[in-house]
Amino acid sequence: MRLDGKVALVTGAGSGIGRETALLFAENGARVACVDLSAEANEATVAAIAAQGSEAIAIAADVSSAEDSERMVATTTARFGALHVAFNNAGIMHSDDGDAVATSERTWDLTMNINAKGVFLGCKYEIPAISASGGGSIINTASFVAIMGAATPQIAYTASKGAVLAMTRELAVVHARDGIRLNALCPGPLRTELLMKFLDTDEKKERRLVHIPMGRFGEAAEMAQAALWLASDESSFVTGTDFVVDGGITAAYVTPES
Ligand code: NAD
């Protein structure tokens, strides 16, 4: 199996991309530490992994807290004896996020704290643990909006994901000779709760779909497949990338239907 003998930590494991990835990592032989703010959703993921016959633990933690981030890594290594793969994926898209004029300082701070600082804190504690385990792979979830300008403004979210790309690139270079690879996963728009709540009318959904050459939203399970490849040794020469999985959005100038 592709992650045989590996220990993986997944944040945001209670829902969407994180849940699908935790399940897929476990299916591929990893022992998985599932981390989420929502204890109930997270425990449901762990139960689903156990039902598959694999091993996982649930850690309730807020990735924007240094104390919680340190604890999630310490709990993982205490339980499984190592850490090889970390998927820093937890993130929010606030419904009050808009353009610079409309967005409040509170929404900006909350978004940056979870989406950008959360990834920094994850890396801060994961890197020494992965290093002590003989090396591995870190995947940080960014977004295609960190690469393209979006007509639907979400300034705090976009800035936070830009920070994830820049941070991942620099860490990849710094740790390239330590046996630690770091890549940023950039999903396109997905049919997950996070985005469907944000695009809460048919008109908003249609407006977004116009820009996707494939003409559909992506699935969380499709992001999990990309994360699995980046986590596994199959991607052993891949580091520092903005790994785009977006149905062709970033390649398009004009889409077939527009
Ligand atoms: P989701 O809302 O389905 O899942 C996110 C999970 O993160 C939830 O279980 C939530 O409880 C958890 N979480 C939120 N804040 C947390 C915190 N402070 N500490 C710990 N856990 C926390 O969202 P998703 O669509 O699966 O998104 C996952 C990641 O993918 C996010 O970083 C998001 O920005 C990114 N992304 C999503 C899309 C999309 O279209 N859905 C597109 C591009 C990027």
Atom of ligand 1 nearest to the CA of 41: 9
Rounded to the nearest angstrom, the distance between the alpha carbon of 93 and the centre of ligand 1 is: 8
| Whether the CB of 220 sits within 6 Å of ligand 1 | yes
pLDDT digits over 32-86, tens only? Answer: 999 999 999 999 999 999 999 999 999 999 999 999 999 999 999 999 999 999 9
Phi, psi at 178, each rounded to 5°: -100, 5
| Whether the CB of 164 sits within 6 Å of ligand 1 | no
| Whether the CB of 42 sits within 6 Å of ligand 1 | no
pLDDT digits over 146-155, tens only? Answer: 999 977 899 9
Q: How far apart are the C-alpha atoms of 88 and 13, rounded to whole Å? A: 10
Q: Which of 120, 125, 157, 198 is catalytic?
A: 157
CB count within 10 Å of CB 165 equals 19
Span 1-30, average pLDDT? 98
Residue nearest to atom 24 of ligand 1 (CA): 16
pLDDT score recorded for residue 3: 98
Q: How far is CA 235 from CA 41, 169, 196, 239, in A?
A: 30, 16, 31, 8
Q: Which helix (H) or strand (E) holds 32?
A: strand 31-36
Atom of ligand 1 nearest to the CA of 64: 18
Rounded to the nearest angstrom, the distance between the alpha carbon of 95 and the centre of ligand 1 is: 13
Question: What would be the CATH architecture of the domain defined by 7-241?
Answer: 3-Layer(aba) Sandwich (3.40)
| Whether the CB of 137 sits within 6 Å of ligand 1 | no
Per the CB < 8 A criterion, the answer to whether 107 and 101 are in contact is no
Rounded to the nearest angstrom, the distance between the alpha carbon of 114 and the centre of ligand 1 is: 10
Whether the CA torsion 203, 19, 150, 229 is positive or negative: it is: negative
Whether the CA torsion 16, 22, 25, 26 is positive or negative: it is: negative
125 a catalytic residue: no
Atom of ligand 1 nearest to the CA of 185: 44
Domain parsing of the chain, residue ranges: 7-241
Per the CB < 8 A criterion, the answer to whether 93 and 141 are in contact is no
Span 225-236, average pLDDT? 98
Residue nearest to atom 6 of ligand 1 (CA): 12
pLDDT digits over 189-224, tens only? Answer: 999 887 888 788 999 899 889 989 999 999 999 999
Q: Which of 189, 190, 179, 164 is nearest to 239 (CA)?
A: 179
pLDDT score recorded for residue 72: 98
Rounded to the nearest angstrom, the distance between the alpha carbon of 91 and the centre of ligand 1 is: 4
Rounded to the nearest angstrom, the distance between the alpha carbon of 1 and the centre of ligand 1 is: 27
Average confidence score pLDDT of the chain: 96
| Whether the CB of 40 sits within 6 Å of ligand 1 | no
pLDDT score recorded for residue 49: 98
Atom of ligand 1 nearest to the CA of 220: 26
Q: Angle CA(64)–CA(69)–CA(70) in degrees, nearest 5?
A: 145
Rounded to the nearest angstrom, the distance between the alpha carbon of 177 and the centre of ligand 1 is: 31
pLDDT score recorded for residue 258: 63
Q: How far is CA 88 from CA 40, 74, 102, in A?
A: 20, 16, 29
